[in-house]
Every structure is written in C-alpha cells, then in structure tokens.
C-alpha cells in the first residue's frame, strides 16, 4: 500500500473499484475489507501518512480521507449484500427440501403433574355436575377458622400451625375456606368445588410439606343428605382409580361438619394384599367429609332448618403419589427435570 502516493485518492479509488468488480465471493470481499480497512490496511496507511503532511493541510486532508473511507465502505457493503443474495438464491436453487419428512423429535412442555392431577380429579367432579369456583390463597383468619366453626382455642389456630401475614391475614390452611364466602354469594341449591394450594407450617419430610394442593366441594340445598355424598364419592373414586376400588367410611371429627367421616379406599397398589404404601392395612385414607355444620350454614347466611348440605375435602398430592408410585412428596416441588420429564 505504501507504494501509492499518499493522497492520490482518485487513483486509489479506481484501483478499489477494479478489485471490487473482480471479487465474486464472500471470501474475496473479506480479503478486500482487510486490505483496505483492517488494522494494517490502506486507510490506516493514509492516516499514518497524514501525520507527515504540512500542519495547515492536516484538517482538510483528514476530512477528505474520511469521506473517501465512508464511500469505500458503503460500496463494499453493497457488494457484500449482492454477493450474499446471489449465494443464497444459488443455495436455495440447489437444495431440495422434502417437506414430507417427519420432523426431529422435540421435547414438548406439559403441565406439572400436580396440575395434571387436579385436572383429572376436577374433570370428574365437573362430569358429576359440580361447578368450579376459585378462592383466595391469602385469607382472613376469620374465614379460615372462625366462620368454619373452629372453637376459639382450637390448636389448629396456633401461630405455629400456619403462616400469618399479620394479625388478621394468613395463608389458607385448607380449601374449605371457600364454603362461607360462596354461600354468602349464591342462593341454594349450589354444588360447587374449589381446587388450589394450601399452606401449613409443618416440618418438610418425605410425607409432609409446607404447601400442597386440595380440592374441596359442597352441595347445599333442600333435603341434601349423607347418602347423596357417599354415592357421589363412590362414583368419584371408581372413575379415578377404576371400578374395582372399594370405599370405607369411618366416623371422624371436623369442626365444620356434623356428622364427620373419614374416607378410605382399598389400596390401589396391592389390592388389599398388604404393602408398605397402605402400611399392610389394605386401606388408604383419602378424604374428609361430612354434613355441613348448622353454624357454618348460618355463617353463610342461610337457615340450617331449611337447607342441609354435604362437604368433602381431599388432598391432590397424595392421590398423585398413589397414581404414580412416587415415594417422596418433596419431589413434587423440586422442579427437577429428571423427575418431571417422566410425566
Ligand atoms: N379441611 C379438611 C382438612 O384440610 C378436610 C375436609 C374435611 C374438608 C371434611 C371438608 C370436609 O370439606 O367436609 O383436613
């Protein structure tokens, strides 16, 4: 490059044009770029030579070099674009795609297994005629306990057992919280369910967690009775686990139901032969239920002498663990792809 007279820009431009015209590939154009605009390229040489020019001419000459450089860059870019376009159409011309070939297998996102289980369980409830409603995860202590007929000094209200956000608000400990607000909102008859996350201040172990999911349902109306509930639950569990599943009801206690029952199903892992899952009893505890306590119906703004209702609540996580033989509840919350990809 130094063989050129430093500022004979017109002849440099001519030479550049000739080279540009001859270049027909990206590689050749890259060579030109380096030769002219690279660190040791011609433009740098010109800048070097500028330093030895008479002082008073430097600003003008510098400006000329800059204009010259801009022009050359523009022309080079135009040529690069046209060569790339030409290359692309040549490649498209040459390549033939077989659009009928099956695509490569791609991993596809899917709902979390807990969500999938909620869908499975609530689909059955929908098919049995119940309607879905939603309820708050952050709830008033009053709604979580008092309106559900918990006695003032009930141990479940202990600060240790739940997460209080302030004096009055907490993270709901069960989805049963939806009962009174819904009774206040609607007129009987109503048959509703609510699914969602609940929270308890428990030690995290393979069998218990501080957050899990529940589904609660209730039916309030005239003449609603316990045998309605028992037959609905039988249908529900047969649809969920298959026709051979057996149900057992044991009397129990919940503040918001009277009478209260606990529901067991025959162990779906061992068909009652006895296994570690059912602790060799042949039975698995799956839900709590009962007839809605008159005080709860009153809190909901209705007359318990006129309306009666059943209610039940069931855990989702345990059901999922049973369905898929999952040994540790913590796996449901760890977001480990090796676990989740199995669903
Ligand atoms: N809320 C109870 C729990 O979390 C479960 C339950 C029992 C819900 C009986 C109900 C019911 O609606 O009637 O343990």
Note the pTM of the prediction, 2 decimals.
0.70
Nearest-angstrom CA–CA distance, 203 and 45: 75
Residue 251 neighbours by CB under 8 Å, 6+ apart = 259, 260, 261, 262
Ligand 1 atom closest to residue 175's alpha carbon, by position in its atom list: 1
* Mean pLDDT rounded to a whole number for the chain: 92
**320 close to 237: Cβ distance less than 8 angstroms:** no
- Residue of 149, 198, 253, 289 to test ligand 1 pocket, by largest number of atoms within 8 Å of CB: 289
Mean pLDDT over residues 6-27, rounded?
A: 88
CATH 3.30.530.20 fits domain 113-340: no
Query: Residue 6: its pLDDT value, please?
Result: 55
**310 close to 292: Cβ distance less than 8 angstroms:** yes
Read off φ and ψ for residue 211, nearest 5 degrees.
Answer: -135, 140
**292 close to 311: Cβ distance less than 8 angstroms:** yes
The band of 3, judged by pLDDT with boundaries at 50, 70 and 90, is: very low
Q: Which of the pair, 181 or 42, is modelled with greater confidence?
A: 181
How much distance in Å is there from the Cα of 91 to the middle of ligand 1?
67
What are the pLDDT digits (tens) for 240-280? 999 999 999 999 999 999 999 999 999 988 889 988 888 89
Mean pLDDT over residues 28-54, rounded?
A: 89
Domain coordinates of the chain in residue numbers? 9-94, 113-340
Burial-class residue 88 by CB neighbours within 10 Å (0-12, 13-18, 19+): exposed
Nearest-angstrom CA–CA distance, 187 and 301: 9
Query: Residue 2: its pLDDT value, please?
Result: 41
**307 close to 278: Cβ distance less than 8 angstroms:** no
How much distance in Å is there from the Cα of 324 to the middle of ligand 1?
24
Mean pLDDT over residues 200-208, rounded?
A: 90
Mean pLDDT over residues 166-192, rounded?
A: 97
What are the pLDDT digits (tens) for 209-229? 999 999 999 999 999 999 999
Residue 81 neighbours by CB under 8 Å, 6+ apart = none
pLDDT > 70? residue 19: yes
Q: Three-class SS of residue 16?
A: helix
């Amino acid at each position: 490059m130094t063989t050129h007279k430093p500022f004979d820009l017109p002849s440099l431009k001519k030479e550049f044009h000739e080279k540009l015209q001859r270049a027909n590939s990206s590689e050749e154009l890259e060579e030109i770029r380096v030769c002219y605009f690279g660190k040791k390229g011609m433009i740098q040489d010109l800048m070097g030579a500028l330093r030895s020019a008479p002082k008073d001419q430097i600003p003008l000459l510098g400006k000329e070099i800059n204009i010259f450089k801009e022009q050359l860059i523009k022309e080079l870019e135009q040529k690069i674009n046209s060569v790339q376009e030409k290359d692309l159409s040549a490649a498209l011309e040459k390549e033939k795609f077989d659009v009928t070939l099956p695509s490569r297998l791609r991993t596809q996102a899917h709902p979390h297994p807990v969500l999938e289980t909620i869908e499975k369980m609530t689909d059955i409830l929908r098919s049995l005629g119940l309607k879905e409603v939603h309820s708050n995860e952050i709830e008033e202590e009053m709604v979580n306990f008092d309106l559900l007929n918990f006695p003032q000094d009930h141990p479940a209200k202990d600060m240790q057992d739940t997460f209080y956000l302030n004096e009055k608000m907490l993270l709901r400990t069960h989805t049963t919280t939806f009962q009174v607000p819904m009774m206040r909102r609607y007129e009987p008859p109503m048959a509703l369910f609510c699914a969602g996350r609940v929270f308890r201040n428990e030690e995290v172990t393979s069998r218990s967690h501080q957050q899990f999911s529940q589904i609660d349902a209730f039916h309030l109306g005239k003449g609603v009775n316990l045998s309605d509930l028992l037959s609905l639950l039988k249908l529900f569990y047969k649809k969920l686990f298959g026709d051979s599943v057996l149900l057992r009801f044991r009397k129990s206690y919940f503040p918001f139901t009277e009478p209260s029952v606990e529901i067991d199903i025959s162990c779906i892992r061992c068909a009652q032969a006895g296994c570690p899952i059912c602790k060799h009893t042949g039975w698995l505890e799956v839900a709590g239920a009962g007839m809605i306590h008159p005080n709860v119906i009153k809190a909901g703004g209705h007359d318990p002498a006129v309306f009666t209702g059943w209610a039940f609540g069931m855990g989702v996580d345990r059901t999922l663990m049973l369905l898929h033989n999952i040994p540790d509840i913590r796996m449901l919350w760890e977001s480990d792809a090796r676990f989740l990809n199995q669903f």
